Amino acid sequence: MELVMQKVNKAFKEKKVINNFSLHIHSGECVGLIGPNGAGKSTIMKMITGILQQDSGMIKLNNKEMTKMKKAVGYLPQYPTFYEWMRVKESLIFMGQLFEIPDKTLQQRIKELLHTVGLENNEEDRIVTLSGGMKQRLGIAQALLHKPTFVILDEPVSALDPVGRREIIQLIQQIKNNTTVLLSTHILSDAEEICDRFVILKDGELVADTNNEDIFGSRFQNTLSIELVNEDIYIEELLNKQTYVKNIKKQHDRYLIEVTDIDKNKFDVMKIINEKRINYKKIEIYRENLEDIFLNLVVKK
Amino acid sequence: MKQYKVLLKKEWKQFLMEWKIIWFPIVFILLGLMQPVVTYYMPLLMETFGGSEGITIDPLVMKQTSGEVLASTIGSQFDQLGVMVIVISIMGMIQMDRKDGMLDIILTKPVSLISYVLSKYSSHLLLVLFSISVGYLISYGYTVFLFDPIPIQNVLLGFAYYSFWIAFIVALVLLMSAVFKQTAILAISSIGILFMIHMMKGWNRILDLLLPSTISAEAMNQIITGQGSEIFIHIVVTVLWSIILIYLTVQKLSIRKE
């Protein structure tokens, strides 16, 4: 399932919320849409599902208008909503019937999904009695009910406790094996864990489109990260004298030491630190992670 | 069509869950009962509570025919308090789905807007018509019991004509429910428009032909005299108005700007 968005614009009254946004998601990809609150993540997702109309630009799924592809798309909104007077199973039956799933298949599918999202013991509970986390799981079940080939998940784990979050992450990892997934989140470690590709948004504009290879590719750059127990002003002076040190940068509570050859010089740096008995918390080869990229692009820009 | 049936079934389940299917007819039973009972016992009530001293009572009021009593159930009870009850009870039909996001969820499924709107309209119209018919039946029974019999043809035709006016009211509230998100504005504007349409009745003949409320007066005529004038035109006009309102509702919901 392939999604193409080209030069999409959207404004609410006078305020432009999406500006010339283009995105191409290939079949089988799992893409994380990342951005601070108000960046336009939910608006983009709502335009893809057809809940909102774009002011200009094109959105197509497998080269067809989204309105003709509803059966292929599963959508979990940021705040899943249901007819709260319904029971869990009843709600899924209602949704399944809207997709015209045959009764027998639907019953079987509901059983599977309730087990997958951990609600098999709650199928007769009224939705109004469910906790926020349980509603989120039911929302995921509802989005996957018709076996969509393109799944859109808007902040799927934001309302969950750590245990629930872990379970949902595992669930998404399962579904991404045979489904194209677009998920939005502001929990960057989750995105990094689940997605293969990251699209970073700021003020409705695309500021970066990167993937795991780019991020992990930077792992072997020639930089060491040193976190000290106490701030030691001499470390900079000490290391600056070394010919193999190219640059020293202090970032938050760590020093980033750029050297000429990481494989060789990491032992030299360790030797100096041990000889001078400098207390450290952690020494590691620095790799730029998603958070660094995000902070760099979104906060500093 | 399949989705329409699923949505219709859901609406009826919701009526059951909210007890609407019980209390809505009860309200109309009480309204239907009130007119013949109050009319019949009015002289006795006047006498019991302070007598009629100092009050001049139009002698014609006391001599209402049974047809007039039943017609007054429509004109005085259903068309006034009844309309307010209808508006307030059904005004959330689309507004609630818009407010809590259910409309968005449903429209991400392979459901057409027409199926959605028609399921809302037909289910609510059926509920209202069912409730009114029960109230009307009770009113008819009491009128016959306390006064004189009314030709059954007049009773049935009168109700049939009145149903078109109800169909228009439900269509108007449907549109308002798609336009306004705030309950108070929705209620005031719906009742306000219906009140204005009612008030405009009788201003001039051409306007009367175009007003959907004229059919309500024709329904009363039918019950009292057994005759209606230009009834076919009034039916066509009212049905057309209802279709226009339903069409506008679909159009309003298809514009998804916010």
Are both A187 and A265 inside the same structural domain? no
CA A248 to chain centre: 32
Average pLDDT, whole number, for chain B? 90
**B96: which 2 tokens?**
């609630």
* DSSP tag of A68: G
- Looking at mean pLDDT, say which of A10-14, A46-50, A295-299 comes out highest: A46-50
Look up residue A208 and give its two tokens. Answer: 């970066």
Phi/psi at A260 (nearest 5 deg)? -80, -35
A145 shares a domain with A7: yes
Say what the pLDDT of residue B251 is.
Answer: 94
Candidates A77, A85, A95; nearest CB to B109: A95
Q: What is the spatial distance between Cα A16 and Cα A203, in angstroms, rounded to a whole number?
A: 9
| Among the ranges given (A51-60, A240-249, B1-10), the one the predictor scored with the smallest mean pLDDT | A240-249
pLDDT of residue B257: 65
What tokens were used for B106?
């449903």
Coil/strand/helix, residue B158: helix
Compute the distance between CA of residue A225 and CA of residue A285 in angstroms, rounded to an integer.
Answer: 6
On whether both A185 and A240 belong to a single domain, the answer is no
Give the phi and the psi of residue B255 in degrees, each rounded to 5. -85, 105
Query: Residue A226 pLDDT > 70, yes or no?
Result: yes
Looking at the structure, tell me whether residues A95 and A180 fall in a common domain: yes
Q: Is A45 inside a domain boundary?
A: yes
Residue that terminates a domain, selected from A177, A200, A216:
A216
Highest-confidence segment of A202-211, A275-284, B35-44, B186-195: B186-195
Q: Would you call A163 helix, strand, or coil by DSSP?
A: helix
How high is the pLDDT of residue A171?
84
Query: Is residue A290, in this structure, part of any structural domain at all?
Result: no
Same domain, A40 and A116: yes
Mean pLDDT (chain A) is 86
Report the gap between the CA of A191 and the closest CA in chain B (Å): 25
3-state secondary structure of A235: helix
> Shortest CB distance from A77 goes to which of B17, B104, B111?
B104
A196 and A243 share one domain:
no
Number of residues written out for chain A: 301
Q: Report the pLDDT value the prediction gives residue B57, as an integer from 0 to 100.
A: 62
| Confidence band of B6 (pLDDT split at 50, 70, 90) | very high
The region of weakest confidence among A26-35, A138-147, A246-255, B177-186 is A246-255
Query: Domain check: are A143 and A227 in the same one?
Result: no
Task: Note the pLDDT tens digit of each residue in A58-70.
Answer: 999 988 888 888 8
In a domain, A135, yes or no: yes
A294 inside domain: no
Q: At A76, which CATH number?
A: 3.40.50.300
- The CA distance from A269 to A220, in Å, is 17
Specify whether the CB–CB gap between B239 and B255 falls below 8 A. Answer: no
Is B106 close to A81, i.e. CB distance below 8 A? no
Angle at B71 between CA B69 and CA B75, to 5 degrees: 110
Helix, strand, coil percentages for chain B (3-state, nearest 5): 80, 0, 20
Mean of the pLDDT values across residues A235-244?
Answer: 84
Among the partner-chain residues A52, A79, A98, the one whose CB lies closest to the CB of B110 is A98
Provide mean pLDDT across the span B189-215: 89
Same domain, yes or no, for A247 and A181? no
Q: Which of A193, A216, A239 is the last residue in one of the domains?
A: A216
Q: Do A271 and A129 belong to one domain?
A: no
- Give the per-residue pLDDT at A3: 92
Which of A130-134, A232-236, A246-250, B156-160 has the least mean pLDDT? A232-236
Q: Give tens-digit pLDDT for B105-133.
A: 998 999 999 999 999 999 999 999 999 99
Rg over CA atoms, chain A: 24
